Amino acid sequence: MFKLTRFLYNEEEVKLTLISSMLRKINIMECYYWFSELYYSKLDVFDIIWEIYFNYYALINPKLEYYITKKINEYIEKNDIAPLLYIIRNMHSLKHDSNVFLLYQISLCDDLCQEHIYTKFPKSRRLKTYNKEYYPLLLSIHNSNWIDICYYLNKLFDKKINSIDIYETIVSYFSHENKIHLLDLWKRKIDKHDFHYILRFICNLKIDNITLNHKNVYISPQKEDIDEIKDIECGDIPLTNKGNTQIYKTLYYKRLFRIDENIGAFNLSRFNIPNYKIENYNWEYYASFVPLWRERIISFNGKIDHNIKRIIFDDDISLENFYDIYGYELDEQSKEVQAFSLLEIKKKDYTDWFCYVNSKTNNNKDEIFIDCDFDCELPDNFKLKIKN
């Protein structure tokens, strides 16, 4: 299943294109555009911001967390996209790393297996003060066994153990470590990202050569850039010479950037759909899974029929009124306009993604550069996945 956004892009592909745009530090307007595509589609952009932060920025930019929280609170007060674009602007400018992202991807591997089975535990007085279910994780961290860290942390979360208890147990056990004073205590809970938070914490604890960015200076977006992003959403489509509206030309005027073809390293939904292009022509059905389009359809008395993958309206008048305003007609667009979202994306190896976003090139896959600071042989079935 895939979902189509405001201008009928595939949601997961928009998110991945946003990430690649920010990590490669290309045109900032492209980053704003992809973020606004998610924002104006009424998707959970807070979750997306935090996911990107923990995967790529949290480890070496700890102060950015407070800045993000501040800007999100500012957005909640003003209900205006501008404070969120401040976050995107500063992520775009800051250095990133791939440590937490790579560990998180390892944790998503199908049938992930531990490398060490801990049946006997050291006779340590300090270890015996903790619940036995924490022993494998604590020993994995102590020995820097990264596959085991992901495996046993998964197991604890699968058991629905309170994530704060997991965090505080790790803090308590490793309180003798020299770097423990650099780590913030769990002062706030960021919904749905406890696993990420703990992975970042473990990386802070075990990776010795991390250079932290303690600067507290942030960049403001250009006002004209913010205005342009708002105008894309609110600006009218040019009228014909006879003064008629051209709703069917919405995508022609509003689609400004193409989906990044290099995201084929991820397990995209399109790879599992035999007639992906044809399915996109049935855009009303797939758009209905996005809050913006669902609201639009319901406002014209439309109902989703999952059996035939169609939107059924109560009467012809409701149908005509809907298409008078939202008749984007993807299948009737030019090849150039369609190619913004329906371009060919080929499957790629995960190493291609790391090379691409880190601007590294290496033709020898055995010596590929992956931007991480821990020594870890990846599982045989390792692939880049998208969080459901």
Q: How far apart are CA 3 and CA 275, in angstroms?
A: 15
Closest Cα partner for 264 from 350, 341, 339? 350
173 token code pair = 């056990």
Q: How far apart are CA 217 and CA 205, in angstroms?
A: 26
Interhelix angle 11-24/82-93, rounded to 10 degrees, is 50
292 token code pair = 């913006």
326 token code pair = 């939202």
Confidence (pLDDT) at 371:
57
Q: How far apart are CA 382 and CA 215, in angstroms?
A: 35
Q: How far apart are CA 7 and CA 329, in angstroms?
A: 11
Q: Any idea what the Cα angle at residue 218 is, between residues 212 and 219, rounded to 5°?
A: 135
Cβ-contact 151, 199 below 8 angstroms: no
Confidence (pLDDT) at 24:
94
Closest Cα partner for 87 from 6, 31, 14, 38? 31
pLDDT averages per 10-residue partition of the chain, 388 residues: 96 98 95 98 96 94 92 96 98 93 93 83 73 91 93 95 90 72 56 88 85 85 97 85 78 97 96 95 97 97 95 96 95 96 95 83 46 74 84
Phi/psi at 262 (nearest 5 deg)?
Answer: -80, -5
Q: Any idea what the Cα angle at residue 69 is, between residues 64 and 75, rounded to 5°?
A: 125
The strand pair at 310-313 and 302-305 is best described as antiparallel
Q: How far apart are CA 49 and CA 385, in angstroms?
A: 18
Q: What is the DSSP letter of 309?
A: T
Confidence (pLDDT) at 84:
98
Query: How far is CA 118 from each of CA 51, 132, 137, 350, 374, rounded to the nearest angstrom?
Result: 32, 11, 10, 31, 22
Closest Cα partner for 4 from 341, 364, 295, 311? 341
3-state secondary structure of 62: coil
Cβ-contact 358, 371 below 8 angstroms: yes
- In the chain, domain spans: 99-206
Confidence (pLDDT) at 177:
60
Confidence (pLDDT) at 368:
42
Cα torsion for 43, 388, 159, 54, to the nearest 10°? -70
3-state secondary structure of 114: coil
